[in-house]
């Protein structure tokens, strides 16, 4: 286990050998498999919306399903 | 976005701002920018990745049937695009319906349109708007199945059609949807394209290993070439672009 050591996962990709040092063989194998696997293919125009969001604010809605029957415009924003 | 929200909120559009930041970072920003529409959190930006978006701001428009109909930079979204896709959407979100519409809302969210319409009718005058809204949804979903057939997207016809038929249950509009589904079954050319569309879907795994990308793209190109100017070719080309866009 890593104990109080700073999380190696937060380092850049070039730290991979260092990360391996911290991991058990099974964990290391899983990490290698993950690294060679591409991300899931993204949804696009024509696909059904399949996302979940949390903590809806400024609305009585609690989940995205509550907007069923409405057209929805999702805008990703960042405060910076 | 505030403008779009004000302009279309009573015509079927809900604008939802989404962020991957913390509440502490977001709330002062929302207040400073006088954001007047709903917002929510996407921790780890998993949803953003699922939607294939990168960079801020990014936006996606989803129609009333839950289909993604547009993606891009918010500044490139025109009123005309919104107007095109809000047809048949509920003018008021179901969670804002009157308390007396609880039964209608329950049936509606379970996609039981017949039951929802029946419950709205029982509300009398108070349920008039809700009844009209559900009737609008019924018409637009029925028309959507018919339009998909005309556009030649037979996989969408099969999937949307079956879901819509179930939702309509014993409503008279069901016969229109059943007629389209029957037409699809009896149309040999449509069946060939439908099978090719299913093949496209099968060819692209949910996750794809880097070493297999070329193989997948080659298989998709083959499908597109075999079925030019069809929904199968469109699906294959879109899948190729999607596979290529992954780093």
Number of neighbours of residue B68 by Cβ within 10 angstroms: 21
At a CB cut-off of 8 Å and minimum separation 6, what does B113 contact? Answer: B107, B134, B137, B138, B141, B167, B168, B169, B171
Same domain? B76 vs B107? no
Nearest CA in chain A to B97: A60
Statement to judge: residues B63 and B110 lie in one domain: no
End-of-domain residue from the set B85, B108, B135: B85
Measured between beta carbons, which residues in chain B are less than 8 angstroms from residue A47?
67-68
Measured between beta carbons, the chain B residues lying within 8 angstroms of A77 are: 17-19, 39, 56-57
Confidence at residue B102, expressed as pLDDT on a 0 to 100 scale: 94
Q: State pTM to two decimals.
A: 0.74
Which one has a higher pLDDT value, B206 or A50?
A50
B214 and B141 assigned to the same domain: no
A76 to B68: CB separation less than 8 angstroms, yes or no: no
Lowest average pLDDT, out of A5-14, B185-194, B204-213, B215-224, goes to: A5-14
Residue B48: which of A44, A49, A76 has the nearest Cβ?
Answer: A76
**Predicted pLDDT of residue A33:** 41
Closest of B131, B12, B134, B110 to residue B61, by C-alpha: B12
Each residue's pLDDT tens digit, B161-173: 999 999 999 999 9
pLDDT for residue B45 is more than 80: yes
pLDDT interval class at B158 (50, 70, 90): very high
CB < 8 Å to A44, chain B: 52, 68, 71, 238, 242
Cβ distance of B17 and A77 shorter than 8 Å: yes
Residue B153's pLDDT is 93
Domain span at B207: 190-245
Q: Does the pLDDT at position A25 exceed 80? A: no
Q: How far away is chain B from the Cα of A65, in angstroms, using its nearest Cα?
A: 8
Q: Note whether B180 and B201 are same-domain residues.
A: no
- Residue B84 vs residue A24, higher pLDDT: B84
- Evaluate if residue B175 carries a pLDDT over 90: yes
- Regarding whether B199 and B173 lie in a shared domain, the answer is no
What's the pLDDT at A16? 40
The answer to whether residue A32 scores a pLDDT higher than 80 is no
Q: What is the ipTM of this complex?
A: 0.76
Q: How many CB atoms lie within 10 A of CB B28?
A: 11
pLDDT (mean) for B23-30 = 90
Residue B75 · residue B130 · CB < 8 Å: no
Same domain membership, residue B164 and residue B124: yes
> Are B99 and B175 within one domain?
yes
Q: Choose the final residue of a domain: B139, B167, B186.
A: B186
Q: Inter-chain contact B137–A69, Cβ cutoff 8 Å?
A: yes
Dihedral, B65, B69, B74, B78 alpha carbons, nearest 10: -100
- What CA–CA distance (Å, rounded) separates B70 from A39? 22
Q: At a CB cut-off of 8 Å and minimum separation 6, what does B160 contact?
A: B65, B141, B144, B145, B148
Average pLDDT over residues B68-86: 91
- Closest chain A residue by Cα to residue B208: A38
The verdict on a CB contact (< 8 Å) between A71 and B42 is no
- For the beta carbon of residue A16, count every other beta carbon within 10 angstroms: 15
> B20 and B99: one domain?
no
**Does B199 lie at the interface with A, CB-CB under 8 angstroms?**
no
Rounded distance between C-alpha atoms, residue B103 and residue B122, angstroms: 10
The model's confidence at residue B54, banded by pLDDT at 50, 70 and 90, is: confident
User: In chain B, what residues touch A33 (CB-CB under 8 Å)?
Assistant: none
Chain B, residues 66-85, CB within 8 A of chain A, namely 66-71, 74, 77, 82, 85
CA distance B4 to chain A (A): 9
Domain boundary among B138, B168, B186: B186
Q: Locate the chain A residue with the closest alpha carbon to B63.
A: A71
- Interface residues on A facing B, Cβ-Cβ cutoff 8 A: 36-61, 64-79
| Contacts of residue B126, Cβ cutoff 8 Å, sequence gap at least 6 | B98, B100
Q: Are residues B180 and B226 in the same domain?
A: no
pLDDT band at A29 (very low <50, low <70, confident <90, very high): very low
Q: What is the domain-level CATH number for residue B6? A: 3.40.30.10
Could you identify the residue written with the tokens 């949910």? B206
User: Given this model, what pLDDT does residue B241 score?
Assistant: 85
Domain count of chain B?
Answer: 3
Q: Is B108 in the same domain as B133? A: yes
* B72, B74, B79, B83 alpha-carbon torsion, rounded to 10°: 60
pLDDT tens readout for residues B191-200:
999 999 999 9
Q: Which residue of B has its CA nearest to A60?
A: B95
User: Taking CB atoms and an 8 Å limit, are A76 and B156 in contact across chains?
Assistant: no
* Eight-class DSSP state of A48: B
Any idea which of A19-28, B192-201, B207-216 has the lowest mean pLDDT? A19-28
Residues B166 and B234 in one domain: no
Q: Is B205 helix (H, G, I), strand (E, B) or coil?
A: coil
Tell whether B113 and B30 lie within a shared domain.
no
Q: Give rounded-to-5 percent helix, strand, coil for chain B.
A: 65, 10, 25
Model confidence at A22: pLDDT above 80: no
């Amino acid at each position: 286990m890593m104990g109080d050591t700073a999380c190696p996962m937060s380092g850049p990709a070039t730290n991979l050998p260092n990360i391996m040092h911290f991991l058990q063989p099974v964990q290391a194998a899983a990490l290698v498999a993950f690294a060679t696997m591409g991300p899931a293919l993204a949804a696009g125009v024509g696909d059904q919306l399949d996302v979940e969001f949390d903590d809806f604010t400024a609305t009585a809605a609690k989940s995205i399903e509550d907007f069923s029957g409405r057209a929805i415009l999702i805008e990703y924003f960042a405060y910076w | 976005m505030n403008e779009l929200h004000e302009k279309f909120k009573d015509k079927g559009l809900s604008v939802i701002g989404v962020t991957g930041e913390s509440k502490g970072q977001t709330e002062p920003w929302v207040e400073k920018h006088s954001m007047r529409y709903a917002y929510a959190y996407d921790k780890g930006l998993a949803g953003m990745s699922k939607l294939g978006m990168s960079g801020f701001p990014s936006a996606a428009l989803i129609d009333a049937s839950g289909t993604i109909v547009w993606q891009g930079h918010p500044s490139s979204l025109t009123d005309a695009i919104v107007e095109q896709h809000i047809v048949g959407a509920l003018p008021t979100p179901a969670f804002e319906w009157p308390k007396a519409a609880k039964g209608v809302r329950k049936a509606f969210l379970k996609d039981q349109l017949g039951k929802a319409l029946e419950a709205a009718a029982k509300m009398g005058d108070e349920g008039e708007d809700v009844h009209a809204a559900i009737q609008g949804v019924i018409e637009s979903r029925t028309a959507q199945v018919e339009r998909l057939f005309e556009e030649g997207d037979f996989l969408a016809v099969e999937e949307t059609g079956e879901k819509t038929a179930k939702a309509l249950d014993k409503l008279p509009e069901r016969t229109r949807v059943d007629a389209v589904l029957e037409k699809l079954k009896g149309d040999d050319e449509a069946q060939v394209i439908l099978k090719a569309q299913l093949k496209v879907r099968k060819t692209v795994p949910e996750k794809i290993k880097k070493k297999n990308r070329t193989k997948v793209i080659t298989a998709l190109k083959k499908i597109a070439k075999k079925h030019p100017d069809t929904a199968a070719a469109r699906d294959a080309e879109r899948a190729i672009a999607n596979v290529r866009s992954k780093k």
